[in-house]
Amino acid sequence: MSKGGNQKTVAVLCGGSNGNHVLAWKLGRDPSFEVRLLTRNPAKWSHEIECNEQKMYLDVLPVLPGSTYEKSTGKIDKIFGWDRTAEALQGADVVIFLCPVSAHKDMLGLVIPNLPPHPVCVGTAYGQGGFDWLARQELAKREDKGFQATIFALKHFPYLCKATEYGSKVTHFGNYPCMKVAVAPELPDHRNRVHELIFRMFDKPVEACSFLACVLGATNQALHPGILSEQFEGFTPTNGKTYPEHNLFYRACQDRGAEDIYLMEFVEFVELFNKIVELTKDHPSGLVSNINVKKEIAYESSSPVILAFPPSFLRSQSWWISKTVGAALRNNMRLYNVKSPMKKLGENKFVPVVQSRMFIDDVPYGLCVLLGIAEIVGVEMPTCKRMVYSLQKMMGKQYILETPNAQGNIVCGRDVGETWAPQTYGVHTPAALKDHMVWDRAADLAKYASNVDFRANNAHILPSKL
């Protein structure tokens, strides 16, 4: 929300990620914001962040040559450790997580109990893996704290960037062209408040989407595994295989990786999304009744064209369409210099870092979530399944079984408890999945409205429920 006079919008950035370096720099240049940082390592952060920003002609089409770099500095007003969470959140207007998806649960567990006694927006810059499921769980523990919070999640991570000196310098390669954001409760005042904040924070167009799109309209979960599976084929933590150089990640994407990305992104994930919308369209909340799947999962400029065709046709044409996908990735100027997640073992000896977020975020908190949903509703996703088989071997994990068990299930491997698949939440049937996938937070707040003070002070929030 914008504030008049000299009153600033207080933004609390959570985590020490590359993305938070950029957002701290960006908001730190805007006099209408007070920037606060919550991090495990407050002593390592400077109050000034220098950014070397790559300027593109068009964010939506980053293949054009001629990009330049510009340096500038932003200011962080206050820096806190997590032991001072309550202090950092006092007076906050927005609390946003820019962090690995694997950190969402722990951060929510610290933020929710320390929320201030006034309206505040709490969300993540990347809603993959079921951020709404985690938020719902944590809020249920502290209704006395959470009822004034608006929860949100961006569908796409907004930045491609790399901290060059932790806590003080960052290189920013480019912005995502449009911010798609899911909001709970899905009520006009709440959505308008979040949209205004996101527009001011990122200076990009803002579109509404559902939390279903954040989970099922997957992007990185197709991009990263497709390339990782091809690039590191045959590697396991114990077989001694090494690679002679530290590769550029997207430049390494060849025909097979591009085809796997295409088949997941534009065929299998679309089929799954359509199935879930069909399953949930009669949910009593009405939140799913008007969802446009193609619009919600559109990915930059290519999606509207590709998604105009039925999945059966798209699957049959994968051999040539995927070549366009591969060329677009290899020639994307934002992605050109991104290195693969690798570490050096010796002279001309490199191995993949299987603990990196490209593995952890996108396999147990990405593909395994989608496979778990697909198993419950009976959608076949052979490419996605093959990606998990390949990558879990590289990671030394067993999230899914290679052969179905007696019940015909595979999302029940030794390490499935480390994933955020719905089975981990005790969800195993389509009926249970329907409510798990659709969060009617307005109804949740209406239950809490039996509190007389809440009803008197917040009647405008839930006009149809109170």
**Hunting for tokens 């290519």 — which residue is that?**
302
Query: What is the side-by-side strand order in the sheet with 94-97?
Result: 78-81, 33-39, 9-14, 94-97, 120-124, 149-154, 179-184, 206-208
Q: Is residue 442 part of a domain?
A: no
Residue 454 belongs to a domain: no
Helices (H), 264-404: 269-280, 293-297, 303-306, 311-316, 318-330, 357-360, 368-377, 382-395
The answer to whether the peptide bond before residue 185 is cis (omega within 30 degrees of 0) is yes
Q: What is the pTM of this model?
A: 0.91
Dist. CA 288–CA 273, nearest whole Å: 11
Residues 204 and 235 in one domain: no
pLDDT value of residue 303: 59
The answer to whether residues 190 and 280 belong to one domain is no
Domain assignment present for 465: no
Which residue do the tokens 């527009």 mark?
199
CATH number of the domain bearing residue 95: 3.40.50.720
Domain shared by 167 and 227, yes or no: no
- Report DSSP letters for 7-20, one per residue: PPEEEEEES--HHH
For residue 418, what are the contacts with CB-CB under 8 A and spacing of at least 6?
364, 397, 399
pLDDT recorded at residue 436: 96
Q: What is the Cα–Cα distance from 443 to 441, expressed in whole angstroms?
A: 5
Residues with Cβ within 8 Å of 53's Cβ and at least 6 positions away in sequence, in order, are 69, 70, 71, 72, 171, 172
The pLDDT value recorded for residue 381 is: 97
pLDDT (0 to 100) of residue 337: 79
**What single string gives the DSSP state of each residue in 249-302?**
TGGG--HHHHHHHHHIIIIIHHHHHHHHHHHHTT-TT-TTTT--HHHHH--TTT
Q: Tokens 């933590």, residue?
A: 237
* pLDDT for position 380: 95
Q: What is the mean pLDDT of each run of 10 residues along the chain (466 residues)?
A: 69 96 97 97 97 73 63 97 98 96 96 94 96 95 86 93 95 86 94 96 94 92 94 95 94 90 91 95 92 81 63 75 77 78 95 96 97 98 97 98 95 97 96 95 77 55 50
Evaluate whether residue 446 is within a structural domain: no
The reply to whether 136 and 268 lie within a common domain is no
**Residues 292, 189 share a domain:** no
* Residue span of the structural domain in which 161 resides: 9-209
User: Residue 449 falls within a domain, yes or no?
Assistant: no
Q: How far is CA 6 from CA 10, 20, 31, 34, 36, in A?
A: 12, 25, 9, 11, 17
What pLDDT score was predicted for residue 306?
A: 67
Q: What is the pLDDT of residue 449?
A: 62
pLDDT of res. 14: 98
Query: Do 154 and 126 touch, CB atoms closer than 8 A?
Result: yes
Nearest-10 Cα torsion for 247, 253, 257, 261: 120
The answer to whether residues 194 and 229 belong to one domain is no
Measure the CA–CA gap between 285 and 289, rounded to whole angstroms. Answer: 9
Do the Cβ atoms of 100 and 107 come closer than 8 Å? no
For residues 375 and 421, membership in a common domain is answered with yes
Residue 361 resides in a domain: yes
Q: Are residues 53 and 196 in the same domain?
A: yes
> Coil, strand, or helix at residue 243?
strand
Q: Are residues 190 and 286 in the same domain?
A: no
How far apart are the two ends of the chain, measured CA to CA in Å?
A: 25
Residue 310 confidence (pLDDT): 73
What is the SS3 assignment for 57? coil
